[in-house]
Structure 1
Amino acid sequence: MNSDKVKKGLVIVYTGEGKGKTSAALGGVLRAFGHGFKIKVFHFIKKDSGSGEQKVLRQLGIEVETLGKGFTWNSENIEDDIRLARNGWTKAANDILSGDYDLIVLDELNYVLDYAFLDSEMIIETLRKKPQNLHVIITGRGAPDNLVEFADLVTEMKMVKHPYHSMGLKAQKGVEY
């Protein structure tokens, strides 16, 4: 861990309807990696699909843990999704409190909170106890108001135009995944 490089670990939230939340988080991961930080990325909804970002993170030796089975609106078993989210949070909370990392990314956690699979107060309580030097980045649409209030830095991505809506284009390899 590189605690000498961190003055105050921040809680950073990327939310909103626009594209770029995970991309912004991964930009932070690359920056931190370049400075020798120990990093772990949790994907709360994405499955281990071999996406471009998962491949490169693993090639760099950055720990990646996928906790979901894919997007929940395609779910056949919401109860199982809730169980996965709760088990995933237990793993993430343990790593947050461990003192072993300089940066932890909780990708798509806001979706899990928005779906009420997890309680935002429980998340905030854990974040209050995190090591002082740990940065935590949280992504996903629908960040709850109390998390927005608690966070040190919040960016809301606004969709102005998207090819899915304007041209009917689905997500493309190398651009969206």
Structure 2
Amino acid sequence: MMDNDRHAEKKAKIKAARDRMMEGKTGEKGLVIVHTGPGKGKSSSAFGMVLRCVAHGMPCAVVQFIKGAWDTGERRLLTGHFGDLVQFHAMGEGFTWETQDRARDIAAAQAGWAKARALIADPAIRMVVLDEINIALRYDYLDVAEVLAVLAAKPPMTHVVLTGRNAKPEVIEAADLVTEMTAVKHPFRDGIKAQAGVEF
């Protein structure tokens, strides 16, 4: 076991190195953030960032591309308690295996994208979450080149979060921050359905 003096000396060295590293980190910018991968937590993480923005008094918006008008806990919380700071637009019609109508899914994605473009262009809105847009891009409901062009032209301090499995390589390349959620274990495999407060 390390004694207190050795521990303090080791931590002092780490702090000095960290302080040197942080001296050069002075820039600020609106980030393009991607949450992807087969694991759970992509949207949940994005909603956590929305709550951080709310705590800083920063206006935000959420556009949901796939999930539709589900009665979710995050929607209830954000619109019921923070409606002055958070816009919530559920534009999808449900999962693609539920609708089974490609033309309808494309139309819903295009309507969602029209709303998203307007929100991203508004410099008063500091964060826009494009929930499950990676799914819409994966199925070519939206043109990835157009999405990337809008992201490249966004106001300089606007953060945009794109969630959903299978993010396209071009989206990952354009992003400032990418996190891939890995599936290690999930109760669904053992016959447990989606749980309130966990999945919705």
Specify if TM > 0.5: yes
TM-score (norm 1): 0.93
For residue 143 of structure 1, report the CA deviation from its aligned partner: 0.3
Which of structures 1 and 2 has the bigger CA Rg?
2
For residue 55 of structure 1, report the CA deviation from its aligned partner: 0.3
Distance 1:63 1:90 in 2: 15
For residue 128 of structure 1, report the CA deviation from its aligned partner: 0.6
1:142 to 151, 166, 174: 166
Q: Name the SS of the counterpart of 1:63 in structure 2.
A: strand
TM-score (norm 2): 0.83
What 5-or-longer segments of structure 2 have no aligned partner? 1-26
2:192 to 147, 162, 169: 169
Q: Which runs of structure 2 are paired with 1:15-164 in the superposition (5 Å)?
A: 15-59=36-80, 60-61=82-83, 62-164=86-188
What 5-or-longer segments of structure 1 have no aligned partner? 1-5
CA contact (8 A) 2:63 2:115 kept: no
For residue 52 of structure 1, report the CA deviation from its aligned partner: 0.7
14-23 or 83-92, which moves further after superposition? 83-92
- Aligned residue-pair number: 171
Determine which structure has the larger helix proportion and give its number: 2
Cα-to-partner distance string for 1:38-71 (whole Å, 9 max, x where unaligned):
0001111111222111100101212100011111
Q: Name the SS of the counterpart of 1:53 in structure 2.
A: helix
Q: Name the SS of the counterpart of 1:131 in structure 2.
A: coil
Q: Name the SS of the counterpart of 2:173 in structure 1.
A: helix
Counterpart residue identity of residue 161, structure 1 = K
Distance 1:95 1:43 in 2: 13
Where relative contact order (Cα < 8 A, 6+ residues apart) is larger, the structure is: 1
For residue 7 of structure 1, report the CA deviation from its aligned partner: 2.6
